[in-house]
A and B are shown apart, each in its own frame.
Chain A
Amino acid sequence: MSEGRPPDPLARLGERLDKARATRTGEPAPGPGEPALQQGVGLGLRIGVEFVVAVVVATGLGWALDRWLGTRPWGTIVLFFLGVGAGMVSVYRAVTGIKTVVGYRRLDAAASRESIKGKWDDEE
């Protein structure tokens, strides 16, 4: 085995793989729809629950604390508002992508939403 000389067949295979990959990027990912559409719908499904659960869980926690400590109704009230705050924060984060800029690729997501809208308009 002589070193320094690149293994020719492998290099050619690499080129072919790169070419194949380049042509493949346009294809849909496994799962329904295009990746962009999927990300858009995924984000929508995600934030739907976020706010409601935050409020419900926080209020329930406050209610439980009240029962335990006998401080009715203060725990419920305070934790209800904290829950609303937490819910808003998590929805805001999910949408704007604070801390998750790479994950949500804000521009891509916006573009995909546009393309979804375009699709719906076409069908109508």
Chain B
Amino acid sequence: MALELKPLEQFTIERLVPLHIGRLDVSFTNSALLMTIAVVLITALTVLATRKAALVPGRWQSVAEMSYEFVADMVDTNAGHGARDFFPFVFTLFMFILFANLLGLVPYSFTVTSHIIITFALAAVVFIGVTIIGFIRHGMHFLRLFVPEGVPVVLLLLLVPIELLSYFIRPFTLSIRLFANMLAGHTMLAIFGGFAASVGFLAIFPLGINVLLIGLELLVAALQAYVFAILTCLYLRDALHLH
């Protein structure tokens, strides 16, 4: 039986509009297209839905306000006071990842966040930004983050490297978590889809599994955006309020 499974084909980057500046390949790819769509949709949601803002919100205004309040509440409870300045950043991050994840679930589209270079770029921005904020707010005192309190000097020799390591691992865990979840989910969907296409009337079983998986993927798409945003808040909290 010729079982044609190409579960990873969906992750190929295609150049939609080839474009080169010197030696640099800046082609407009399917990845760039999906990111543009995400940004346009988010902008439309937040701008259009609140343009005719009413005291009693309509449907779209409600969605926009709920996402705003959701992120605002997350920033307040997780990043501590004085973190409201960073609300726009966290909101942008959350909405972008959420929309990128959800748009990836639309058939024939492309999942931006299934590419580690994109999630790593996002995580690196968070990591570098948080480090810079920490140094701006606390100067060299920020390095105290790596020195646990009330620990004998001998143990510090062991604990400081561990603290350093767990600090520098942050961008990796942040990016790998998002990327691996999206990659695994979409690969599974494609594999079961491939089964369904090749087993005739028995296709009802893999198809049923796919229906369940889509539900799970919707959950994962929202939760991963949530986890990314909440960890950004927690890292900000570390930088803003030293222990």
A: residues with CB less than 8 A from B are 29-33, 38, 41-42, 45-46, 48-50, 53-54, 57-58, 79, 82-83, 85-87, 89-90, 99-100, 102-103
Asked, given contacts A32-B223, A82-B165, A99-B238, whether A45 binds B173 with beta carbons under 8 Å apart, the answer is: no
Q: Which listed residue, A53, A54, A100, touches B237 by the CB 8 Å rule?
A: A100
State whether the Cβ of B10 lies closer than 8 Å to any Cβ in chain A: no
B218 within 8 A of A: yes
B219 at the binding interface (Cβ < 8 Å)? yes
Q: How far is the CA of A90 from the CA of B231 in the complex (A)?
A: 12
Query: Do residues A103 and B162 form an inter-chain contact, with CB atoms below 8 A?
Result: no
- B207-243 CB contact bits vs A (8 Å, 1 = yes)? 0000000000011101110110011011001100001
Complex alpha-carbon distance, A30 and B163, angstroms: 35
* Complex-state Cα separation, A49 to B223, whole angstroms: 14
Q: How far is the CA of A88 from the CA of B227 in the complex (A)?
A: 19
Known: A103-B78, A103-B233. A46 touches B227 (CB 8 A): yes
**Residues B168-182 near A (CB distance < 8 A):** 169, 172-173, 176-177, 180-181
B166: contacting residue among A29, A41, A86, CB under 8 A: A86
Q: Which of A30, A33, A42, A89 contacts B67 (CB 8 A)?
A: A30
Q: B165 and A58: CB pair below 8 A? A: yes
B222 touches A85 (CB 8 A): no
Complex CA gap A28/B68 in Å reads 15
Chain B contact residues: helix, strand, loop or mixed? helix
Interface size class on chain B is: 35 or more
A103 touching B237 by the CB < 8 A rule?
Answer: yes
Residues of B within 8 A of A (CB): 63, 66-67, 70, 77-78, 80, 158, 161-163, 165-166, 169, 172-173, 176-177, 180-181, 218-220, 222-224, 226-227, 230-231, 233-234, 237-238, 243
Judging by beta carbons under 8 Å apart, are B165 and A86 in contact? yes
| Number of residue pairs spanning A and B whose beta carbons lie under 8 angstroms apart | 86
For the complex formed, measure the closest distance between the CB of B46 and the CB atoms of chain A, giving whole angstroms.
14
CB distance from A114 to the nearest CB of B (A): 20
11 A-B pairs besides A42-B223, A53-B176, A82-B161 with CB distance below 8 A are A32-B218, A45-B223, A45-B227, A46-B227, A49-B180, A53-B173, A53-B177, A85-B165, A87-B166, A89-B166, A103-B234
The CA-CA distance from A89 to B77 in the complex, in Å, is 23
A103 to B229, CA, bound (A): 12
Contact status A53-B169, CB under 8 Å? yes
Partner of A50, one of B78, B173, B223: B173
Contact A31 B173 (CB under 8 A): no
Indicate if the CB atoms of A86 and B226 lie closer than 8 Å.
no
Query: Contacts of A99 on B, CB cut-off 8 Å?
Result: 237-238, 243
What residues on A are CB-neighbors of B180 within 8 Å?
49
11 contacts between A and B (CB under 8 A): A29-B66, A29-B70, A42-B226, A45-B177, A46-B231, A53-B169, A53-B177, A54-B166, A82-B162, A90-B173, A103-B78
**Would you give the shortest CB distance from A101 to chain B, in whole angstroms?**
11
A93 nearest CB neighbor, chain B only: B166
Contact A102 B223 (CB under 8 A): no
